[in-house]
């Protein structure tokens, strides 16, 4: 795309970099949306088709060979597996996912790599300037996520990808990605209770929203669902003559002794769904050929490589804190998982309980770093203390969740599942998010949050303390001696938990504890919110 085609954008401040200018413009599109339907002018679903006309995207989308995926849990993982498989089959791929953890460009991947800054800016301003020129009071500028979805379609069309894998942002029926009229195949991942304030209060209502991506006679796949949800999916599929099939988890034996690229037993279910989506895409586009055989019998080399090399940040990811200057690089280790529903909390707890035990201090472990831009593998060397002294592991919880979610549903699932595996948190730390809802891009990360409302974090702390009181007697040595002192930096310190006014302050406190306790390895589970996971990655990796 030439500079003239790309557009030069709106007048910008010379104090900002070109990328920061784009982030400022993007931030201006963020609104507090409650529900996408026909009741609000700015949220009317039909407006999306006006935007497609303005951007000349109707025909390109119609010609695009799209895989469309909705669901409550596992959307990102399923899309990541699907993209990796088809890329390893030799196709050029476009992958649109959400949310991003560190950089907005993570949402747009071309052939497995996040889009480069130069291309992103060119496509961004082309779309933004054209919409600015053509929108008015009756058809206002699209909201944040809608703009990103439109941008994804523009990028994938212009880059002429062979396949575009589109992850639904929220729901399905009224989601911005659902302007797709003729996908090649659709997928519905595991359904559960999430975003109930928008999607409905029952699994049936939620399933109805997700099934909104079904298109007449287009094949669709799902995983085993609760009866209430499955009945709705089957009913919606029947109404549209959709051949809906239920897939089973991938048999690990088909990987020829290798492991999935994404950690956790639940990923075998997502992998099974991705295999069905890829096989159907290959078949319906006339590309099956010699690439793969029936997936129930065997997996081709390309499929195995795609599944075992798939990589996704913020899901069952292990990141040692290299800011600690010492002989050991594993004194402070972050175990990151963006779980934020009751079901995913259990999955996260099972993964963490196994992962901290497998994080062996007596040998070098290879931990795949989920850095999409580098796809590097890093050797994390672990050692015993000086003179071979034993290093004591101390599990700590670092948690936050959105106020629309119920901690009474999330925290008990986490605590009880960990306890079932013999894992007891020595301290729970609650922090507000660094990310703010109305700002994209670089933000000022100060140590002490000024005028931060911590009422939600205090509420989370009360829930945790009550749970700990109820669980007393079930475990021993819950409170660690090395965590009892020096809590002056916290906004509220209780027996089993603490609230900090900012995430940087909490991480500084953890690093200080490491320096003061050379015989302790702090294993910090970061969960409850992908935004929190992203914030931690920004601070630990920068």
- How far apart are the C-alpha atoms of 161 and 385, rounded to whole Å? 52
Write the CB contacts of 468 (distance below 8 Å, at least 6 apart in sequence): 478, 495, 496, 497
Q: Rounded to 5 degrees, what are φ and ψ at 134?
A: -100, -20
DSSP letters along 377-434, please? EEEE-----GGGPPPEEEEEEEE---TTS-HHHHHHHHHHHHHHTT---SEEEE---S
17 marked as binding residue: no
Q: How far is CA 526 from the centre of its chain?
A: 13
106 marked as binding residue: no
Contact between 357 and 370 under an 8 Å Cβ cutoff? The reply is: no
98 marked as binding residue: yes
195 marked as binding residue: yes
Write the CB contacts of 454 (distance below 8 Å, at least 6 apart in sequence): 432, 491, 492, 499, 501
405 marked as binding residue: no
Q: What b/e string do you get for 300-326 counting C-beta neighbours within 10 Å, with b at 16 or more?
A: bebbbbbbbbbbbbbbbbbbbbeebee
Q: What b/e string do you get for 282-297 counting C-beta neighbours within 10 Å, with b at 16 or more?
A: beeeebeeebbeebee
- How far apart are the C-alpha atoms of 131 and 126, rounded to whole Å? 9
Q: How far is CA 307 from the centre of its chain?
A: 18
- Binding-site annotation: residue ranges for ATP: 315, 337
- Binding-site annotation: residue ranges: 98, 167, 195, 315, 337
- Binding-site annotation: residue ranges for Mg(2+): 98, 167, 195
């Amino acid at each position: 795309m030439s500079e003239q085609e790309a557009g030069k954008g709106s007048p910008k401040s010379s104090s900002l970099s070109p990328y920061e200018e784009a982030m400022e413009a993007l931030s201006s599109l963020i609104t507090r949306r409650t529900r996408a339907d026909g009741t609000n002018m700015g949220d009317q679903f039909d407006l999306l088709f006006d935007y497609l006309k303005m951007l000349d995207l109707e025909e390109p989308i119609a010609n695009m060979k799209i895989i469309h995926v909705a669901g409550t849990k596992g959307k990102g993982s399923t899309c990541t597996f699907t993209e990796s498989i088809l890329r390893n089959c030799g196709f050029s791929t476009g992958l649109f996912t959400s949310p991003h953890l560190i950089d907005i460009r993570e949402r747009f991947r071309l052939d497995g790599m996040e889009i480069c800054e130069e291309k992103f800016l060119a496509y961004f301003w082309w779309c933004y300037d054209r919409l600015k020129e053509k929108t008015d009071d009756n058809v206002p500028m699209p909201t944040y996520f809608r703009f990103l979805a439109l941008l994804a379609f523009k990028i994938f069309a212009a880059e002429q990808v062979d396949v575009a894998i589109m992850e639904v942002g929220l729901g399905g029926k009224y989601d911005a990605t659902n302007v797709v009229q003729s996908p090649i195949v659709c997928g519905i991942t595991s359904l559960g209770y999430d975003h109930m304030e928008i999607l409905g209060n029952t699994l049936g209502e939620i399933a109805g929203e997700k099934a909104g991506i079904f298109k007449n006679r287009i094949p669709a796949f799902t995983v085993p669902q609760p009866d209430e949800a499955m009945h709705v999916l089957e009913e919606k599929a029947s109404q549209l003559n959709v051949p809906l099939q239920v897939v089973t988890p991938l048999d690990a034996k088909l990987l020829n002794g290798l492991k999935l690229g994404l950690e956790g037993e639940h990923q075998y279910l997502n992998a099974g769904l991705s295999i069905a989506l890829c096989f159907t895409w290959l078949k319906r586009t006339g590309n099956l050929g010699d690439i793969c055989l029936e997936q129930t019998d065997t997996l081709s080399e390309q499929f195995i490589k795609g599944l075992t090399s798939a990589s996704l940040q913020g899901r069952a990811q292990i990141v040692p804190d290299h800011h600690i200057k010492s002989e050991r690089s594993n004194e402070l280790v972050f175990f990151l998982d963006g779980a934020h529903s009751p079901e995913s909390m259990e999955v996260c707890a099972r993964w963490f309980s196994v992962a901290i035990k497998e994080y062996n201090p007596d040998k070098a472990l290879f931990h795949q770093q989920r850095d999409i831009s580098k796809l590097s593998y890093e050797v994390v060397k672990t050692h015993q203390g000086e003179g071979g002294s034993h290093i004591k592991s101390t599990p700590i919880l670092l948690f936050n969740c959105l106020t629309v979610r119920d901690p009474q549903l999330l925290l008990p699932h986490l605590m009880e599942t960990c306890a079932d595996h013999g894992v007891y948190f020595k301290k729970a730390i609650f922090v507000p998010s660094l990310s703010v809802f109305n700002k994209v891009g670089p933000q000022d990360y100060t140590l002490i949050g000024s005028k931060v409302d911590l009422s939600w974090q205090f509420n989370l702390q009360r829930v945790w303390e009550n749970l700990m009181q109820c669980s007393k007697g079930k475990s021993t040595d819950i409170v660690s001696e090395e965590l009892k002192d020096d809590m002056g930096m916290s906004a509220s310190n209780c027996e089993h938990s603490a609230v900090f006014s900012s995430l940087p302050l909490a991480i500084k406190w953890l690093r200080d504890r490491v320096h003061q306790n050379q015989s302790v390895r702090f294993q910090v589970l970061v969960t409850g919110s992908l935004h929190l996971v992203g914030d931690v990655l920004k601070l630990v990796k920068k």
